[in-house]
Structures are given as C-alpha cells and as structure tokens.
Copies of this chain bind each other. A is one copy, B any other.
C-alpha cells in the first residue's frame, strides 16, 4: 500500500496525494475529497520511514533512561510527553537497566533513528560515548550526568542542598550513626548524592559515623540493603536512602523484622514520588519537581524560543519534605543495636 496506489485510484499524481496528506500548498477541494476517499478506501497509512527519509527528519524525540521502573522517570516522562504531543512530536524511549552495553546500543539506536533531539536520563555516560553522541550533531540534554562536565547541556539537581537538609534534620533529632543505602551506580566514585552526604557530614558533624550499603535500584533492592544492614554490626539509628523507591523497600524489611519506624530507626527517601506518600509510614524525603524537569527537557530540545533553550546548565533546587518516617534517635545503648533489637523481637 503506497502513495502511488492512492494516486492511481484518485486519478492524480503522487505529488498531489502528498499535498493533501500534509496539508501544504493549495489543492482544489474536489481533488482533495477524491484523494481522501481513496485513502480511506484503501486503508492507506503513510510509511513514516519513507517520510522521514524524504523529508530529511521527523519530529521525534528520543529518551534514554537507566531505570524505567522507577516512578521518578515516569513523572518526568508524562510532562515531556504532554508537551511533545501538544506540538506534534513523538517520543521513543529506550531503557538501559543500568547496563552500559545497553546504553551504548541505545545511543546508537537513537542516532540511527535520526531523532531530532535526545534526553539522556542516565546519570552516567563515559566520555567516548558522549563524544560519539555529540559528534552526531543531535541536540542532547542530559539529566543529572555527574561531574563528567564537558560542553554539555545538563539539567542538574542540587543534591548538596537536599542532602544537607536531611542531615541537618537527622542531627537535630540526635542521630549520629547513619546508614546510607544506594544502588550500585550510586556508590560509584562520581555519584553526587553520596559525595554530598560525605561533605555535609564533614561540615556539620565530622564525628558522625556512616556506613554504606548497596543493592539494586528497586523495592527488592531496598529490602536487600536493609537485610544487609541488620545482618551487620553497625548500630545505625537512621537510614538515608538514595531514593524513595529503595526507601520503601527498606521500610518493608524493617517492618518485617519488627523494627518500628521512626521509633526504633528513622528512614529518609529522595525524589518525593507519589509512593512516598502512600507507603507506611509516609517518607520524609526531598522533593524534586519532576514535571518541571519534563517541561525543561522539552523546551531545551524543541523550543528554541524558550528562555532556557540556550542555557548550558539548569540547576533544580529541591525542597525538603518532613513526614513521618523520621523521629528522635533512640538513646544510645547496647540494646539499641538494630540487630539485637530485631533478634529480640523475633
């Protein structure tokens, strides 16, 4: 089924069919009707590949994300999608699942598709790949790609500020032994949330103790990390989680081992996804305005008129949100060791 057959059936040239299809030029009304009739009779659907080839481009944005399953991304996506559809853009997404070979494959896929812009929400990307991408001349905006700063357009979140607030809050409540729960890539040398924690600690209370735990970025991962924590000997009174998703996993595991939050131990999240209000107890967390990020992505990639369009870097200021997962530290005592506690209650 092709233009040609439509043209034949409507007794016009392919050029004319193309015209009515795209609503360009002026086409006599009677001709237009004839063409539309042929189109629907033949159940004709233009071949989009041919179209972008001939037109030398298409209104399509690519989005690469490292973990589709984190609702954080979905919220960004929803805002981006709304803007795109409102302006005739399509979106194609690729999920890397934190696998670097998959990231390479996804980047090449997007280049091969000749997307008109690319949003990379991947938090890590090596230099060569960045160069390969940049050389393709596709407009790219990174979200939160660490200190790998080259001449890259980047949307950054001021994690320092967020972490600072969390730590302040926890110290004010008397916590001094803190566990940090991250996913693997959050423990890499370039991870900002973790280094921000280091710094905040060093600045606010160098005497505080921290221990790091890592697992997969998921509910299960959070539970894993909590299990590790409880299996170890570190008597944490508070757990700072790299994001809400893992925090909810931590919450569940603690509950399962009869450890009360926040009475026995405090837990914080990050992102303020919807789930952070629906879990039990609701999480103290840091809000990142995800829909704003989606809109900014659109503006930077598709709307040269936009005020932000030519900025090299946009910094998002997150906001601290206190809910019910944090409370005063238990008085320091031997029996306060989470492990002992868990054991005792079991």
Interface residues of A (CB under 8 A from B): 43, 45-53, 68-69, 71, 74, 77-78, 81, 85, 90, 92-93, 95, 102, 108-109, 111-114, 132, 135-136, 218-220, 223, 248-249, 251-252, 255, 274-275, 277-280
Contact A81 B95 (CB under 8 A): yes
Nearest-Cβ distance from residue A220 to partner chain B, whole angstroms? 7
Report the bound CA distance from A218 to B109 in whole Å.
Answer: 32
Instruction: Contacts A53-B50, A74-B68, A280-B255 given; indicate if A45 touches B219 (C-beta within 8 A).
Output: no
Q: Give the interface SS of chain A, mostly helix, strand, loop or mixed.
A: helix
Q: What residue of chain B has the Cβ atom nearest to residue A138's Cβ?
A: B45
Nearest-neighbor residue (CB-CB) of A105 within chain B: B85
A136→B43 contact, CB < 8 A: yes
Cβ distance A340 to chain B, nearest Cβ, rounded Å: 24
CB <8 Å contact, A48 and B81: no
Nearest CB in chain B to that of A71: its residue: B69
Tell me which residues across on chain B come within 8 A of A102, comparing CB atoms: 85
Do B219 and A112 have beta carbons less than 8 Å apart?
Answer: no
CA distance A248 to B49 in the complex (A): 43
A282's closest neighbor in chain B, by CB?
B252
Q: Are A136 and B45 in contact (CB under 8 A)?
A: yes
Beyond A48-B113, A218-B274: 12 further Cβ-contacts under 8 Å? Answer: A45-B111, A46-B112, A48-B114, A49-B50, A49-B113, A53-B53, A68-B77, A69-B71, A85-B102, A248-B278, A252-B280, A279-B280
Task: Count copies of this chain in the complex.
Answer: 2
**Cβ–Cβ < 8 Å partners of A280 in chain B:** 252, 255, 279-280
Q: Are A275 and B45 in contact (CB under 8 A)?
A: no
Closest approach, in angstroms, between the C-beta of A102 and any C-beta of chain B?
8
Which residue from chain B places its CB closest to the CB of A90 in the assembled complex? Answer: B109
Asked whether A47 lies within 8 Å of B278 as measured between CB atoms, the reply is no
Q: A195 → chain B, closest Cβ, in Å?
A: 29
Cα(A114)–Cα(B46), bound, Å: 9
Residues of B within 8 A of A251 (CB): 278
Measured between alpha carbons, how far is A102 from B279 in the docked complex, in Å? Answer: 32
8 A-B pairs in the complex with CB atoms less than 8 angstroms apart: A48-B49, A51-B112, A69-B78, A218-B274, A220-B274, A251-B278, A252-B278, A279-B279
